[in-house]
Structure 1
């Protein structure tokens, strides 16, 4: 099991699983895409063994490209780990203050965002494809944990993981208009190709939402790998269409 770590220390464990042609299903971690379920569960178990946790310690969501989020508690442990339909329903972001629970989001070209507050001991995992981005899911999650969990955004550490880069994410007028309708100036994150097409900087838009919420620039860490480019380490829906998913994960120790 190939893992790309983010922040692994005495307090949290976090990172991203990678595509691996030598693993079953190329290392696919998601049950909601085509593939052999038993093989995918074997990959998940291999991941658990790698980090020293059981699947019963994991919590996953039924992702729908929404702006919905959910606070995970100990009673939720194991949801979505063995069966997709048992995951947190209609949800694209999870957060918790409980130790020992692995939160994970699944993605190929979509942007994964991880948050860690060392003061309140809170972690979050967000799935933000273009649909989640134009719904401003990252802004909504950060606003919520500030208002309800006492998080000071200046203390937040944030990670924007591997995803499609701006030079590869071509969009049409329907999406351009939705990006332009967001609650802040998005012009610098749209690169016009012609009258009807543009390139969208999804990583940049999520970064800007974090900055707007008060997260410090020096605390935002961005993985610049482009999943769309030919690379055995990454899944890309736009490139291959029928592909697996990475899992970007975080856990309080």
Structure 2
């Protein structure tokens, strides 16, 4: 069953992890679409990214609309300058508001974030890369990671889990996780250079449970179709998260440009969605 449930809220189309929010009402967690904002083409319409040469005033209005729809004050959100790395930032109440109105005030060079603080909303930007969500209901800790292929092969999922263990004593078997809308194996073609990085983690002669989705498919042209969602699921399990605790979307951002921005499908000229998670 698809974990990300489409909702129309105050003109915006948003996706929430409905099962999490029902079980844990202290959570706000979801993913934006491209619909319901004010940006003009090619960023139409709910672009949340300040770095894509969209009109700044339009982006800030979109961010305000999103905050209103999620019912979290915009001053509680935290944005970062993402660099496709695997560094984790530990957030506290003093980080509230960073990066909302300008890139200069954003957290610099970070791709994963964890916190136990309440009334702070972690935000990360996406347009094909994989959003990874983490929640430890025992220690009331949350995490969010941005995993493109570079972050994935740097095992950003495992690094985030490890930091939750170190900072909050989170036990991997108690953490629940979700993998959000992102480019799927149907659309993500890569070359052998990228695959060599994947094989360094899993081995070239990989044997998988027949029930697991494939990590990749080889094409006749010598390229490969890569399953970033499954790579991150496998890394999560290797780090100790139970398979039954991992929710995986069926949405491909490249296939569904009616709903999402896709950097690859739209040749780099497009907007950004935001993944968010917060404790209230």
Distance 1:237 1:105 in 2: 15
Distance 2:70 2:251 in 1: 23
Distance 2:199 2:221 in 1: 14
Which residue of 1 is the match for residue 26 of structure 2?
11
- 2:184 matched to 1:191? no
Which residue of 2 is the match for residue 233 of structure 1?
259
1:2 Cα offset (Å):
1.5
Residues 153, 214 of structure 1: 8 Å contact kept: yes
After TM superposition, the structure 1 = structure 2 runs for residues 106-145 of structure 1, keeping only pairs within 5 Å, are 106-145=125-164
Residues 38, 61 of structure 2: 8 Å contact kept: no
Q: Structure 2, unaligned stretches of length 5 or more?
A: 1-11, 207-213
Instruction: Name the TM-score, length of structure 1 as normaliser.
Output: 0.95
Q: Structure 1, unaligned stretches of length 5 or more?
A: none
Instruction: Name the TM-score, length of structure 2 as normaliser.
Output: 0.86
Distance 2:224 2:98 in 1: 39
Distance 1:220 1:42 in 2: 34
Partner SS state of residue 16, structure 1: strand
Which residue of 2 is the match for residue 101 of structure 1?
120
2:274 to 235, 244, 247: 247
1:230 Cα offset (Å):
4.2
More helix by share: 1
Instruction: Give CA-to-partner distance per residue, 1:111-141, whole Å, 9 cap, x none.
Output: 0001011011001110000111111111111
Distance 1:140 1:85 in 2: 26
Distance 1:22 1:73 in 2: 30
Residues 88, 163 of structure 2: 8 Å contact kept: no
Residues 21, 232 of structure 1: 8 Å contact kept: no
1:248 Cα offset (Å):
0.6
Distance 1:20 1:50 in 2: 13
Instruction: Give CA-to-partner distance per residue, 1:205-230, whole Å, 9 cap, x none.
Output: 00001111111111111111111114
Identify which range, 57-66 or 19-28, moves more after superposition. 19-28
Which residue of 1 is the match for residue 8 of structure 2?
none
- 2:248 matched to 1:222? yes
2:192 to 166, 169, 173: 173
Distance 2:249 2:220 in 1: 28
1:177 Cα offset (Å):
1.0
Q: Which segments of structure 1 move beyond 6 Å, counting only runs of 4 or more?
A: none
After TM superposition, the structure 1 = structure 2 runs for residues 49-128 of structure 1, keeping only pairs within 5 Å, are 49-128=68-147
Identify which range, 22-31 or 70-79, moves more after superposition. 22-31
Distance 2:71 2:217 in 1: 44
